[in-house]
Amino acid sequence: MTSTNASQADSYPGPGERTPHADPLFGPGSQFHEFFNDPRWALAVIRATVLEAAHPQIGAALIDNSTFVAHPWRRLQNTFLSLQRMFGADDEVRQREAARLNRLHSRLNGTDARNHPYDAMDPEVRAWVVATLFESTVTMCRLSGQPLEQHTMERLYAEFQAFLAALGDQAGHLPPTLNEFWRYYDRVVEEELENTEALRIILYKLFDHLPAPALLDGLPTVWAAGRALAGPVIGAITVASLPEPFRRRAGLPEIPGAQTLTQTAYLAAGLVRFVPGGWINAEGVASLLALSPESDDPRARTVMAVRDGIKRAGALLRLITPLPAEPEPTTATGSQRSAEEFFRTVLDQTGDGSLDWPDLAAMARELAGRLDLDEPAETRLYAAYAEWWKELQQALDSDGDGRISAEEYAAAVPTLAGPALIKVADVLFDATDADGNQSIDADEYRTLFRTGFQRDLADTGGTYSRSAFVKEFLSFMSGRQRSTAFDPLLAQA
């Protein structure tokens, strides 16, 4: 879209429409499609996430509701999947994903620690999320020495406008022209962004304490060594790439050489684009990081073989490095787990040290997303989790503060498999049983768990009955029994 065409537009291009010179706004041939598998875009997405977190409303929503601290790899994979659906060529898939995102955002509202309201459906908030993705993509190209030409930027901006329009937002939430966008962007950066708690967690906690992805979970020393080197570097690169007025106003540190390091990192990432086609695939990398060691994916077996070799090397590494030892898991042997670990890895989905409604809502959100539920089934799942939350509050919230601490949970030594949790299990079974034949077949199992059957089923014919499914879910959610199916679904990072 040229600037002349953009200035004449009264509204965003609709989903599936094309710009006047017939460039597609979605799918193959779009500008975004060319960037999606660009390795530099990983750095751009991190930068965009920091700019989002600096917005007071978005920062508050992240602190209260997001799983980005406790389950960052799961969050990463879900983000890539959502962007793939929204920017793909299939209009029906895009509309379905837009409806799902709108339902998700409609549930994210409340007040922050200063009693200021936040609402993820606020059109200005949604516009800022899209603005950060667009601007960070432009900055990505500039920092790597390949700035976009004006007409390419205008085409990319039209695609992000169409993305916002696909969500149902009206014209005006993003400026109609690219020139007006830059004035809008500078105003938000200078007047609205803050050094929020969410921003500080991302920059100073998440990078330094990033949990290992599932396939590397058994290599704590190796992961800690790599993280100790990469975490500060990623943080420095991200801070140095942020707009200078915001860095100054937020009091973010100026690290000598950080600007040079940032440009070098973007340039080096850009060089990876020249490896043979198909070697770099954003969705594939994200899904690989989220693979469970028990997965039947051939890539998991390959990585596990490599991991076994790294374990042997890790023994030597522990002898020659001064890194402190990683704490040993507080679990019993075999299939049992401690109450403390269950609370930390399963119940506390947001990673804030307590259990409240956003934690259970995060579970419902993950399950609904995996199953790609429509509105009635998703609402039924959320309602079942809400009833379970009421049951948990009545049983465990001894001080009446509206949340359950790890101490309250451990002191009660609860048996959580009450009527409300049984209802959750039944609703989840119904949602997974897509054909309604009262058994879960291999395809339905894979949709939920992203792997094939991991064990001999009690049933004949290679299916998973309601009773077997409910029994295993309750055993897992009661907090004591591990599960090769549900642990990768709800416990892994």
Handedness of CA 61, 64, 66, 72 (dihedral sign): positive
Q: What is the pLDDT of residue 292?
A: 64
392 and 458 together in one domain: yes
Is residue 333 domain-resident?
no
| Chain position carrying tokens 């992240």 | 62
Please report the DSSP string for 284-318 in residue order: HHHHHHH--TT---HHHHHHHHHHHHHHHHHHHHH
pLDDT digits (tens, 9 = 90+) for 313-362: 555 555 555 545 444 444 344 466 788 888 999 999 999 999 999 999 99
Q: What is the domain range of residue 402?
A: 339-491
Give dist(CA 361, CA 355) in Å, integer: 11
* Domain closes at, from 273, 308, 328: 328
323 and 343 together in one domain: no
190 and 228 together in one domain: yes
Is residue 401 domain-resident?
yes
355 and 314 together in one domain: no
pTM: 0.83
Which region holds residue 28: left if phi is over 0, alpha if psi is between -120 and 50, else beta?
Answer: beta
Helices 40-53, 258-271: inter-axial angle, 10-degree rounding: 130
296 and 350 together in one domain: no
318 and 363 together in one domain: no
pLDDT digits (tens, 9 = 90+) for 430-453: 999 999 999 999 899 999 998 877
405 and 321 together in one domain: no
Average confidence (pLDDT) over 262-285: 71
Is residue 73 domain-resident?
yes
Give dist(CA 434, CA 298) in Å, integer: 26
Is residue 6 domain-resident?
yes
pLDDT digits (tens, 9 = 90+) for 405-436: 988 888 876 556 789 999 999 999 999 999 99
306 and 343 together in one domain: no
Give dist(CA 341, CA 323) in Å, integer: 24
311 and 374 together in one domain: no
Q: Which of 417, 391, 396, 414 is nearest to 339 (CA)?
A: 414
Give dist(CA 25, CA 15) in Å, integer: 8
Q: What is the count of structural domains for the chain?
A: 2
316 and 346 together in one domain: no
351 and 304 together in one domain: no
324 and 350 together in one domain: no
Which three-class secondary structure state does DSSP give residue 165? helix
The CATH number assigned to the domain holding 375 equals 1.10.238.10
* Domain closes at, from 275, 303, 328: 328
Stated as kind and residue range, the H or E segment containing 354 is strand 354-355
Give dist(CA 414, CA 479) in Å, integer: 9
Give dist(CA 478, CA 415) in Å, integer: 6
Is residue 395 domain-resident?
yes
pLDDT digits (tens, 9 = 90+) for 343-357: 999 999 999 999 999
Is residue 268 domain-resident?
yes
Q: What angle do CA 33, 186, 267 make, to 5 degrees?
A: 45
Average confidence (pLDDT) over 97-107: 95
Give dist(CA 234, CA 49) in Å, integer: 13
pLDDT digits (tens, 9 = 90+) for 133-164: 999 999 999 999 889 999 999 999 999 999 99
